[in-house]
A and B are shown apart, each in its own frame.
Chain A
Amino acid sequence: MISKTKFIGAVEIGTSKVSVLIGELTQGRTLHIIGVGECQSRGVIKGAVADFRAASDATHTALMAAEQSAGVRIDEVYLAQTGGHLEGFYNEAAVNVSAADNMVSALDIDTVCRLAKSKNLPEGRMVVHHLRRPYRLDGRLAPDPLHLVGQRLEAGYWTVHGPEGKIADNIHVIRGFNVRVAELILSSLASGAMLASPEDRQNGTLVIDIGAGTTDFVLYRDGSAQMTGVVPVGGGHLTNDLSLGLRLTEGQAEKLKLRFGRATLATKDRAEKVWLNGDFAIGDRQFSRHGIEQITSARIWEIFEVVKKKLGPAFSPEKTAAGVILTGGTAKLPGIDEAAAKVFGVQARLGEAPGWVAENLRDPGFSSVLGLLQYGLSSRAEAASAPRKGASWVSKLFATV
């Protein structure tokens, strides 16, 4: 008997926290979020596992919390992947249509796709994603060129790759919980899947997910992802800057960031002071509000500038009509949309989860992990439409060992 319900865990092992959602996937089509677990992250630096044991403990604690809240056991995991170790490149290929009547066949499409994906990777690196851009037939866009008539078929792939060791570390953290990793999904793609509507992707949009240790971005155009990237700078650096600049502990700096940090300068009065704790106890100190805003806004602007530089000529305001969508924990910083709009020269807004998402999961910090489930659901639907191979309850039983 084939199981009709699957419990999928969406796991994001971030620099500051580990988030887990459990989705109940019924008949491969309907998804219900039934459990959530969170835990402060340990052993992860800039999205990469640095201390396997600490990272495993934190991740497994979050997994257990999610399983307890859902009351079920996870069957498989969709794992978010981020970190400065991930890189990407674009490669394209073209073939002459083989049929005498110039009608594109499945073989032509298969050939051009294989050629476009065939670029060798540096030693020790492996592919995380092949993101195909729309086909072109004789220079014109052809989302599905099968049976169209033309002479030259072109395909291009944005390939995301990373070092085998670091990718394997993330997978092994999950395998330590004795659950299989079914999908490895780039964090930025997950956030994009959640926040950018099909219209946004068609018109062109840039989704930026600013986490604690990294900033992930994905640029959409013509309905598909054109380019992705990871900047190893995030909200944690704002805290670090405040800590160094104002000579505070990390905890104190984090508190100041959350209370008074801004992405743009709003305080006109340079003499305005704010208290560290506000309780006037011993150790409570005053700081210039303008100074705090200067430090945080400078770093945010720097992050956006780095993203813009990484995008290079791929980004142009004219081709990004849907603007910039911001998400991630640091996106809660006041004025961040204003800063993004100024840097990128397009409108910017905070990403909003769709209406079906529960109130407690609408925080920008959950957009990646929600997107993992969304992405997983669509990949499941694609897999379901493909011919089945013998997946049975026996294989499911043995798959967990």
Chain B
Amino acid sequence: MSQSSVNPPPSRTWRDIPQSVTPRAMSREGKKRFAMAVGNIVGMVLVLGAAGWGIYEVVGIWETNPTRITAAASGVPLKDIALRTDGVLDKAWVLRTLDLPKNATLMELNLADLHQRLMASGQVQSAVVTRKFPDLLIVTLQERSPVARVMAQIGGTSPQPLMVARDGSVYSGAGYASPLTEALPFIDGVKLLRQGEGFARIEGMEQVADLLGEAHTSTPELYRTFRIVSLARFAVDSTIVVKSTEVEAITFGLRADLPFARQLARLDYILDETRRQNPTGPLKAVNLAVGGNQVPVAFDTPAVTADGRAPRVSLKPSASSPSGTALFSLPPRSLSSSKRDF
């Protein structure tokens, strides 16, 4: 087979018809479309040209006299600061913290530095600093809320109360109302470790915050009596011990089957019943972290009545337990006057 028969010249197809067309051969609509297409190209060329010229000019100025560029952008001095926050910090605090130089312009401000200054305060969880030209600095803050206090001694000064947030951050709070901070219980049983200018986070504060938050919501009378929350046994047996004005040691456990709400309900019931019967005097300790329907409690005096019999309702002295301790039996829900689920 010859080469020419294997590679014959291809036949002409309709695709060989040139599709170029002059505007003269176009209809009015075709010409309009043509004009629009040409306009698109011209517009594109102009935009690209303008952009290129602008870049050329900027580069030229930058190479010859860079101060002209910075001067153009930094001409107007800062006039005001706008603060947006979800907490209690005010504009005065922001001004004190930022310590801006007088007559500084927006472009002179180092935003990263300002951000660092704001974040140095433990109360600030996140901060965004933005320039709004020509003369406004916008500071947006997200603050931590305190759930407890802790006493700390910094240097040679006398111990002072610091705030503890849910995430365990320890910081000296600013702008909080005194009644609010004075109502917060103290954290005990933890060792504060220095970390940079502040302290390392306290482990277990999330659970403490859950407990205190639940108490504050569901049993506010009880919450008001809470004075000290101890985390001494948190790492050992996952318990939180609260000292209240009524009971010396209330032990709460981190049990999946017994959430804090039920533990608080049990405590409330036990305190109510103890007050009502007053069989043995005030309670010394309540351990809500163990037991099923029976809660170990301790009294200042033995858990038996004067005539040597067991208390009338639910309070059963344990034969093997030391003197002053008892098991407090919780009633079934159907018999509970409050119908609470213990």
Contacts of A121 in B (CB 8 A): 11-12
Contacts of B67 in A (CB 8 A): none
Complex partner residue of B11 from A117, A168, A177, A184, CB under 8 angstroms:
A117
Q: Tell yes or no: B5 within 8 A of A by CB.
A: yes
Q: Tell yes or no: B256 within 8 A of A by CB.
A: no
Is A177 in contact with B17, judged by CB distance below 8 angstroms? no
One of A4-12, A29-37, A56-64, A292-300 contacting the partner? A56-64
Contacts of B21 in A (CB 8 A): 172, 175-176, 178
Is A111 in contact with B6, judged by CB distance below 8 angstroms? yes
Is B13 in contact with A126, judged by CB distance below 8 angstroms? yes
Smallest CB separation, A105 vs chain B (Å): 15
Answer whether A128 and B14 are a contact pair too, CB < 8 Å, given A178-B21, A397-B41: yes
Is B8 in contact with A60, judged by CB distance below 8 angstroms? no
Complex partner residue of A177 from B6, B30, B41, CB under 8 angstroms:
B30
Mark interface residues in B1-45 (1 if CB within 8 Å of A CB, else 0).
Answer: 000011111111110110101000111011101100110110010
Bound Cα distance A118, B12 (Å): 10
Bound Cα distance A180, B29 (Å): 15
Q: Tell yes or no: A120 within 8 A of B by CB.
A: yes
Bound Cα distance A64, B11 (Å): 35
Is A128 in contact with B37, judged by CB distance below 8 angstroms? no
Is B7 in contact with A180, judged by CB distance below 8 angstroms? no
Smallest CB separation, A362 vs chain B (Å): 29
Is A177 in contact with B25, judged by CB distance below 8 angstroms? no
Complex partner residue of A57 from B14, B27, B31, CB under 8 angstroms:
B27
| A56 and chain B: residue at smallest CB distance | B27
Q: Tell yes or no: A341 within 8 A of B by CB.
A: no
Answer whether A178 and B14 are a contact pair too, CB < 8 Å, given A60-B27, A111-B6, A401-B41: no
Mark interface residues in A168-193 (1 if CB within 8 Å of B CB, else 0).
Answer: 10011001111111001000000000
Is B13 in contact with A178, judged by CB distance below 8 angstroms? no
Mark interface residues in A39-62 (1 if CB within 8 Å of B CB, else 0).
Answer: 000000000000000001100100
Bound Cα distance A76, B31 (Å): 16
Q: Tell yes or no: A164 within 8 A of B by CB.
A: yes
Is A181 in contact with B19, judged by CB distance below 8 angstroms? yes
Smallest CB separation, A123 vs chain B (Å): 11
Answer whether A178 and B34 are a contact pair too, CB < 8 Å, given A57-B27, A115-B6: yes
Contacts of A111 in B (CB 8 A): 6
Q: Tell yes or no: A127 within 8 A of B by CB.
A: yes
Is A60 in contact with B12, judged by CB distance below 8 angstroms? no
Is A171 in contact with B33, judged by CB distance below 8 angstroms? no
Answer whether A171 and B14 are a contact pair too, CB < 8 Å, given A176-B27, A181-B19: yes
Complex partner residue of A397 from B11, B29, B34, B44, CB under 8 angstroms:
B44
Contacts of B12 in A (CB 8 A): 121, 126-127, 164
Bound Cα distance A166, B31 (Å): 23
Smallest CB separation, A11 vs chain B (Å): 14
Complex partner residue of B33 from A57, A73, A127, CB under 8 angstroms:
A73
Q: Tell yes or no: A167 within 8 A of B by CB.
A: yes
Complex partner residue of A400 from B9, B10, B33, CB under 8 angstroms:
B33
B-side interface size class = 20 to 34
Mark interface residues in B87-129 (1 if CB within 8 Å of A CB, else 0).
Answer: 0000000000000000000000000000000000000000000
Smallest CB separation, A70 vs chain B (Å): 15
Bound Cα distance A117, B7 (Å): 11
Q: Tell yes or no: A114 within 8 A of B by CB.
A: yes
Is A114 in contact with B27, judged by CB distance below 8 angstroms? no
Answer whether A168 and B38 are a contact pair too, CB < 8 Å, given A117-B11, A176-B26, A178-B30: no
Bound Cα distance A211, B177 (Å): 89
Is A167 in contact with B44, judged by CB distance below 8 angstroms? no
Q: Tell yes or no: A356 within 8 A of B by CB.
A: no
Q: Tell yes or no: A280 within 8 A of B by CB.
A: no
Smallest CB separation, B46 vs chain A (Å): 14
Bound Cα distance A168, B25 (Å): 13
Mark interface residues in B249-278 (1 if CB within 8 Å of A CB, else 0).
Answer: 000000000000000000000000000000
Mark interface residues in A118-148 (1 if CB within 8 Å of B CB, else 0).
Answer: 1111000011100000000000000000000
Contacts of A167 in B (CB 8 A): 14, 17
CB-CB contacts below 8 Å: A83-115 with B: 111, 114-115
Bound Cα distance A401, B33 (Å): 9
Contacts of A63 in B (CB 8 A): 29
Is B30 in contact with A401, judged by CB distance below 8 angstroms? no
Complex partner residue of B30 from A60, A117, A127, CB under 8 angstroms:
A60
Is B19 in contact with A64, judged by CB distance below 8 angstroms? no
CB-CB contacts below 8 Å: A358-401 with B: 397-398, 400-401
Contacts of A164 in B (CB 8 A): 12, 17
Smallest CB separation, B271 vs chain A (Å): 70
Smallest CB separation, B10 vs chain A (Å): 7
Bound Cα distance A179, B30 (Å): 8
Bound Cα distance A184, B10 (Å): 18
Is B33 in contact with A114, judged by CB distance below 8 angstroms? no
Answer whether A120 and B30 are a contact pair too, CB < 8 Å, given A111-B6, A115-B5, A167-B17: no
Is B11 in contact with A175, judged by CB distance below 8 angstroms? no
Smallest CB separation, A186 vs chain B (Å): 11
Contacts of A64 in B (CB 8 A): 29
Instruction: Give chain B's interface residues, CB within 8 Å of chain A.
Output: 5-14, 16-17, 19, 21, 25-27, 29-31, 33-34, 37-38, 40-41, 44
State the 7 A-B residue pairs at the shortest beta-carbon distance, nearest first.
Answer: A118-B8, A175-B21, A178-B33, A127-B13, A178-B30, A400-B37, A126-B12
Extra contacts, 15 of them, besides A161-B11, A400-B34, A401-B38 (Cβ < 8 A), are A115-B8, A118-B9, A126-B16, A128-B14, A164-B17, A167-B14, A167-B17, A175-B19, A176-B26, A177-B27, A178-B21, A178-B33, A178-B37, A398-B41, A400-B37
A–B complex contacts, Cβ < 8 Å, 12 sampled: A73-B33, A111-B6, A115-B5, A118-B8, A159-B11, A161-B11, A172-B21, A172-B25, A175-B19, A177-B33, A400-B33, A400-B34
